[in-house]
């Protein structure tokens, strides 16, 4: 038992050290200055939508106001709340808006299949059929997504480089949807920490960009239409059929041609956050299981040419859910060790101090940076440090569920329910979030 526990502890220690190196290297990266262009690539926004009546109108208004020369295509996945009727009214008054509706039995399978179906139809008809697809870019936006005036110029600037096949905006969470007063304390903490997490991911993306491959993380991802058409012609889905289709699509971009790049944008893409524990855990369960499904990419990652940084980063992302099993065993075995006198790895005192201080230093670093970026009160720093362990515990809950789903063959597509940002929030509960559907979307 001692040897087994030592292996578990050593693995956990290595994982922790890799995490520290990864976080420090990400924190040291300077803010990038992506190129911008007022003309160039033409943008087509793809909006997968299932029962998005509370938000789809505001999203269409945002896009038509901010990027008026872009096309907007809503992929309705057999909504039954009137989403398609809202989009149809927009389309009747604005030729820049198009509604594509999926019907059963094909509908409500998952987000990736909906987008693959939609781009195949769009590429086969006007105005894309017969056009120069290297100058066309698909932008995937969630139904609650919002972009600012800096987004389109950065997309056009990125795709002026012919080697760029994809790009990713900086996803951020709007601080809306939490009930007022004490009832909303938990919801406000979840929203705050989700945006902090996205803030940190934005810095991790800077590190990834050094290897020419920022990851695709969902809302605000862009793909060159010529690459998408090429994938379809080869019989390869641009968005693979896994629970984390955005990350898998980034891996496919890199594997297809070592000269291909995924650009990093600093423009924010706003979206709603989850405000209740149940939906949050279900969403993160899907993300963790989706990363586990990408394990089959590992041999190809190391066989194909790519920068060492990209290989290491993608491999780390894929392997962490698997290696965390050992980390969980190390944590959960502590009561048994004390009860039965089992022993694992004996750590020197200085290493024990490092293992205690390093996480606190990393958390303080991000808390200070996040406070400065959002221009928050100094009270935001202790609030961040105090609420982070609670948020981490919520993340922890998703791991056993992801393992259970993966090893029992369950593929659960949780689709969160949005709220109307423009309407007053009910102070009772976040019951709308609890009514999530199993279908496409994030």
- Give the C-alpha separation, 79 to 87, whole Å: 11
**What pLDDT, on a 0 to 100 scale, did the predictor assign at position 10?**
79
In sequence order, what are the residues at sequence separation of 6 or more whose Cβ sits closer than 8 angstroms to the Cβ of residue 239?
Answer: 111, 112, 113, 115, 116, 245, 246, 248, 249
Mean pLDDT across 349-370: 88
CA distances from 69 to 15, 20, 83, 150 (A): 47, 44, 23, 14
To the nearest whole number, what is the mean pLDDT of the chain?
Answer: 87
Print burial letters for 51-62: b (CB count within 10 Å at least 16), e (below 16): bbbbbbbbbbeb
Pick from 155-169, 363-377, 423-437: least confident = 423-437
**Torsional sign, CA 64, 66, 67, 69:** positive
Contact 204, 197 (CB under 8 A): no
CA distances from 375 to 169, 180, 380 (A): 22, 22, 10
**What pLDDT, on a 0 to 100 scale, did the predictor assign at position 437?**
38
Print burial letters for 271-282: b (CB count within 10 Å at least 16), e (below 16): bbbbbbbebbbb
**What pLDDT, on a 0 to 100 scale, did the predictor assign at position 428?**
32
* Structure tokens, 157: 């600037």
Residue of higher predicted confidence among 65 and 325: 65
413: number of CA atoms within 13 Å, CB side? 19
Angle between helices 380-407 and 277-293 (to 10 degrees): 60
- DSSP assigned state of 127: T
Measured in residues, the chain has a length of: 442
- DSSP assigned state of 213: B
pTM higher than 0.85, yes or no?
yes
Q: Which residues pair with 98 in a beta bridge?
A: 73
- Give the C-alpha separation, 21 to 19, whole Å: 6
Mean pLDDT across 157-180: 93
Residue 72 has pLDDT above 80, yes or no: yes
Angle between helices 308-332 and 245-256 (to 10 degrees): 150
Q: Could you tell me which of 173, 384, 387 has the C-alpha nearest to residue 272?
A: 173
Segment 286-335, tens digit of pLDDT: 999 999 999 999 999 898 888 888 888 899 899 988 887 777 777 667 67
**Torsional sign, CA 383, 388, 393, 397:** positive
**Model confidence at 1, in pLDDT bands (50, 70, 90)?**
low
32: number of CA atoms within 13 Å, CB side? 24
**What pLDDT, on a 0 to 100 scale, did the predictor assign at position 329?**
72
Winning range, highest mean pLDDT, from 125-129, 178-182, 309-313, 367-371:
367-371
CA distances from 367 to 175, 290, 363, 378, 383 (A): 17, 29, 6, 10, 9
212 φ, ψ (degrees, to nearest 5): 85, 5
- Give the C-alpha separation, 293 to 289, whole Å: 6
Contact 66, 297 (CB under 8 A): no
Rg of the chain in Å (alpha carbons): 22
The DSSP annotation for 208-222 comes to: HHTTTBPPP-STTEE
**What pLDDT, on a 0 to 100 scale, did the predictor assign at position 54?**
92
In sequence order, what are the residues at sequence separation of 6 or more whose Cβ sits closer than 8 angstroms to the Cβ of residue 3?
Answer: none
**What pLDDT, on a 0 to 100 scale, did the predictor assign at position 213?**
86
In sequence order, what are the residues at sequence separation of 6 or more whose Cβ sits closer than 8 angstroms to the Cβ of residue 151?
Answer: 66, 67, 169, 220, 265, 267, 268, 269
**Model confidence at 108, in pLDDT bands (50, 70, 90)?**
confident
197 φ, ψ (degrees, to nearest 5): -60, -45
* Structure tokens, 29: 């990266």
The DSSP annotation for 22-83 comes to: HHHHHHTSPPP-----SSSSEEEEEEEESS-TTTHHHHHHHHHHHSTTSEEEEEE-S-SSSH
Segment 398-413, tens digit of pLDDT: 888 999 999 998 887 7
Residue of higher predicted confidence among 83 and 352: 83
3-class secondary-structure state, position 313: helix
Percent of the chain with pLDDT over 70: 91
Segment 334-344, tens digit of pLDDT: 677 667 666 66
Mean pLDDT across 173-180: 89
């Amino acid at each position: 038992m001692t040897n087994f526990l030592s292996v578990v502890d050593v693995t956990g220690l290595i994982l922790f050290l890799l995490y520290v190196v990864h976080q420090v290297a990400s924190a040291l990266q300077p803010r990038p200055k992506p190129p911008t262009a007022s003309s160039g690539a033409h943008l087509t926004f793809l909006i997968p939508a299932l029962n998005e009546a509370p938000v789809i109108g505001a999203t269409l208004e945002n896009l038509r106001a901010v990027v008026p020369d872009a096309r907007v295509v809503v992929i309705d996945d057999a909504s039954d709340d009137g989403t398609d009727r809202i989009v149809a009214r927009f389309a009747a008054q604005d030729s820049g808006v198009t509604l594509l509706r999926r019907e059963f039995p094909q509908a409500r399978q998952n987000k990736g299949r909906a987008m693959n179906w939609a781009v195949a139809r769009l590429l086969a008809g006007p105005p894309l059929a017969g056009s120069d697809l290297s100058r066309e870019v698909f932008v995937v936006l969630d139904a609650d997504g919002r972009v600012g005036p800096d987004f389109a110029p950065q997309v056009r600037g990125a795709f002026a480089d012919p080697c760029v096949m994809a790009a990713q905006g900086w996803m951020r969470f709007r601080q809306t949807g939490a009930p007022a007063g004490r009832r909303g304390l938990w919801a406000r903490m979840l929203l705050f920490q989700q945006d902090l997490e996205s803030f940190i991911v934005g810095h991790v993306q800077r590190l990834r960009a050094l290897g020419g491959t920022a990851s695709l993380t969902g809302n605000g991802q862009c793909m060159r239409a010529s690459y998408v058409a090429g994938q379809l012609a080869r019989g390869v889905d641009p968005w693979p059929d896994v629970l984390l289709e955005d990350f898998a699509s980034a891996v496919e971009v890199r594997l297809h041609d070592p000269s291909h790049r995924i650009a990093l944008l600093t423009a924010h893409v706003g979206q709603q956050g989850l405000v209740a524990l149940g939906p949050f855990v279900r969403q993160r369960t899907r993300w963790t299981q989706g990363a586990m499904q990408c394990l089959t990419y590992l041999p190809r990652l190391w066989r194909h040419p790519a920068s060492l940084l990209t290989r290491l980063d993608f491999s780390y992302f894929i392997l962490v859910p698997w290696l965390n099993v050992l980390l969980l065993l190390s944590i959960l075995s502590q009561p048994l060790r004390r009860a039965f006198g089992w022993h694992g790895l004996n750590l020197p005192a200085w290493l024990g101090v490092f293992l205690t201080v390093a996480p606190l230093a990393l958390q303080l670093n991000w808390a200070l940076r996040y406070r400065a970026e959002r221009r928050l009160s100094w009270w935001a720093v202790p609030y961040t440090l105090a609420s982070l362990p609670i948020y981490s515990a919520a993340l922890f809950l998703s791991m056993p569920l992801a393992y259970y789903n993966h090893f029992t063959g369950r593929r659960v597509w949780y689709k969160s329910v949005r709220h109307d940002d423009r309407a007053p929030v009910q102070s009772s509960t976040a019951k709308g979030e609890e009514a999530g559907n199993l279908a496409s979307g994030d």
